[in-house]
Amino acid sequence: MKNYYDILGIAKTATEEDIKSAFRKLAHKYHPDKKGGDEKKFKEASEAYAVLSNKQKRSQYDTYGSAHAGGQGGARGGFGGFDFSDFAQGSANFGGQEFDLGDIFGEFFGGARDGSAGRARGRDISVDIELPFREAIFGTERRMLIAKMSSCWDCEGTGAKKGTKRATCGSCNGKGNIREARNTFFGNFTTTRTCPRCQGRGQVPEHECNTCKGQGVAKREEEVHVVIPAGVLDGEMIRMPGRGEATSGGIAGDLYVKLHIKADKTFAREGHNLLTVLHLKLTDALLGGEFKIETLDGGVSVSVPQGVAHGELLRVRERGVPYGRGSRGDLLVRVDIQFPKKLSRKANELVAELRKEGL
């Protein structure tokens, strides 16, 4: 005799919810339409659920065993009296008794017991913006006109002519979706899709809007305000949810703004730091001193020590890239000593004296 409790992995004291939960897990695991499914185990679990989920059948099974729980009339549908031919109605038949599987198999076939379906989604849009180096460091704003499908400005997205009403959709009876039978390995299953007539709204206009022809969306130029934060990187993408194209009866897609940053002649970026070059004469490098340099915030004075080396980095605090809450990187100044290609007679004599001193 088959032990239906062992097949579902539950105790004899299991509640209706325990039985349903156990079967749901096994059905998802062994369903033949899924990769790695097991038809035999799926049938056994389904047969066990058919009996234990029915109070009368469960009572008969607990008293007499599986031979009596199936009821009269013998086997149907290929195993133990379990008939999948009724799945199109959201139920299955075992020994003349029906039980509801709509909430269990809804995940497999995209439907749900209440007939709800996922809303349509508009197309995503991608645009490119070129930024000067300074604006990428400190942030900026852009306003641009984009031609796209938008909510109809005339009917405000209802699809109905102003002053007219909307009526219940006759195709879906106001539900917004249509249930359809799907033929699978085990018979017909019920699936749900958005009503093509009302686009999931459940209502249709009595008189269509002249601008959008009842669709609720129309193509037009729309101004988009883009806020670009400080410290963005070249190639970075800004996502603006719901600012893409609208669609009839659904939700709008997203707008993606790709940033292209122009190279700067004076500054480069390294993480949160900025890099620049200070060109020094040989004598200035030997003697050191205060030298004025330009930053993105204006001119500052940088102290160069005596005998600074070629390629040495000098640090100017908090003149780099803004990040976090009020924090900034540094400006790194690379020393570029410009050696003379030719020396005058006097300069040669002076250098010769320096050589004698071991410099």
In order of their start, the domains of the chain are 4-109 (1.10.287.110), 125-261 (2.10.230.10), 268-356 (2.60.260.20)
Which pLDDT tens digit goes with each residue over 247-278? 887 889 999 999 999 999 999 999 999 999 99
- 195 is annotated as contributing to ligand binding: yes
How far apart (Å, rounded) are the C-alpha atoms in residues 236 and 128?
Answer: 10
Taking phi over 0 as left and psi of -120 to 50 as alpha, with beta for the rest, 266 belongs to alpha
- 209 is annotated as contributing to ligand binding: yes
The pLDDT of 40-65, averaged and rounded, is 85
**For residue 30, pLDDT beyond 80:** yes
- 303 is annotated as contributing to ligand binding: no
CB 220 within 8 A of CB 154: no
**For residue 171, pLDDT beyond 90:** no
- 36 is annotated as contributing to ligand binding: no
Question: Phi first, then psi: what are they for 31, rounded to 5°?
Answer: -55, 130
- 212 is annotated as contributing to ligand binding: yes
State the pLDDT at residue 182: 67
How far apart (Å, rounded) are the C-alpha atoms in residues 348 and 340?
Answer: 11
- 349 is annotated as contributing to ligand binding: no
Give me the chain's average pLDDT, please.
82
- Burial class (CB within 10 angstroms; exposed 0-12, middle 13-18, buried 19+) of 22: buried
* CB crowding 298-329: b at 16 or more within 10 Å, else e: eeeebebeeebeeebebebeebbbbeeeeebb
- 155 is annotated as contributing to ligand binding: yes
- 172 is annotated as contributing to ligand binding: yes
**For residue 137, pLDDT beyond 90:** yes
